[in-house]
């Protein structure tokens, strides 16, 4: 029995370690499941009236949607860079990258403000038709997630400014970054389903 080789314990730097916090990942999985339901519901209602969905979709501003996709993808890059800086112990760079990510999150909200404003000014609301019901509900719920994710990034930024994250402690920043990447991932799905899918 004693001769059996024991598996080597995973060191904190092992690439096979789950980044962040297992229980935060359970939260993220629950979020992804809920959005999965949203997407299935959207596809179901779209399949019933494809013509209406395609027609109403022409009213969306694709360039603003694409701009927001670029903003969130870039912010994800900034957050990844912050995590990498923390792992490498470059603790001064961590809050700078995070501040850039937060600024991009705020920019996303500003773009959405103008996008919603243009729709409402044109008399398009949540009750206009089934497509716009989904457009407002799904992007609205996602916007709540952008706000929540930006608050998470802000808390991490405060901690990073206090030099809390370093080579030996990256759990908190990894957990927050995982959530932000989820927000980004969901937007990519939403952009494809609402703005692009014909």
Partner 1 sequence: MDEKTSLKYQMLCAWSGPLFLVAFIYFWGMMGFNLPAPPSPALGAGELAARYVEHLGGIRVGFLVSMIVMTLYIPWTAVLSVQMMRIEGRSPVLALIQLIGGALTVPVVSISSVFWVAAAYRPQRAPEITQALTDSGWLIIDTLWACTTWQMVAAAVAGLHDKSAKPLFPRWLCFVTIFCGLSFAPATMTGILKTGPFAWDGVLSFYFPYFCWLFWFAFASVYMILEVARRRQALDFPSPSSSARLAHA
Binding site for partner 1 (CB under 8 A): 22-24, 26-27, 30-31, 34, 37-38, 41, 45, 126-127, 130, 133-134, 137, 141, 144
Q: How many CB atoms lie within 10 A of CB 43?
A: 13
Residue 77 Cβ, how far from partner 1 at the closest point, in Å?
27
Residue 125 Cβ, how far from partner 1 at the closest point, in Å?
9
User: ∠ CA(184), CA(197), CA(35), 5° rounding?
Assistant: 40
By C-beta, is 41 or 88 nearer to partner 1?
41
By C-beta, is 78 or 143 nearer to partner 1?
143
DSSP labels, 116-130: HHHHHHTT--TTS-H
Given a contact cutoff of 8 angstroms between Cβ atoms, the answer to whether 150 and 42 are in contact is: no
Q: Long-range CB contacts (< 8 A, 24+ apart) of 24-28?
A: 24/175, 24/178, 24/179, 25/178, 27/179, 28/178, 28/179, 28/182
Residue 109 Cβ, how far from partner 1 at the closest point, in Å?
18
By C-beta, is 133 or 164 nearer to partner 1?
133
* Separation between Cα atoms, residue 2 and residue 62, nearest integer Å: 65
Residue 156 Cβ, how far from partner 1 at the closest point, in Å?
17
By C-beta, is 8 or 23 nearer to partner 1?
23
Residue 5 Cβ, how far from partner 1 at the closest point, in Å?
32
By C-beta, is 69 or 150 nearer to partner 1?
150
Tokens of 86: 């923390």
């Amino acid at each position: 029995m004693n001769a059996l080789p024991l598996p080597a314990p995973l060191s904190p730097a092992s690439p096979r370690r789950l980044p962040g916090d297992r229980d935060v990942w359970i939260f993220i999985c629950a979020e992804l499941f809920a959005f999965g339901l949203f997407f299935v519901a959207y596809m179901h209602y779209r399949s019933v009236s494809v013509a209406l969905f395609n027609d109403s979709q022409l009213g969306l501003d694709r360039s603003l949607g694409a701009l927001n996709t670029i903003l969130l993808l870039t912010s994800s890059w900034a957050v990844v860079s912050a995590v990498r800086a923390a792992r490498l112990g470059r603790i001064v760079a961590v809050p700078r990258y995070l501040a850039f990510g937060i600024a991009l999150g705020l920019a996303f909200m500003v773009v959405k403000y103008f996008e919603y404003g243009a729709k409402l000014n044109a008399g398009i609301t949540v009750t206009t038709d089934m497509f716009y019901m989904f457009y407002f509900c799904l992007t609205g719920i996602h916007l709540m997630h952008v706000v929540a994710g930006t608050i998470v990034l802000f808390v991490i930024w405060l901690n990073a400014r206090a030099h809390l994250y370093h080579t030996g402690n990256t759990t908190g920043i990894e957990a927050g970054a995982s959530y932000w990447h989820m927000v980004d991932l969901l937007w990519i799905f939403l952009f494809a389903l609402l703005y692009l899918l014909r």
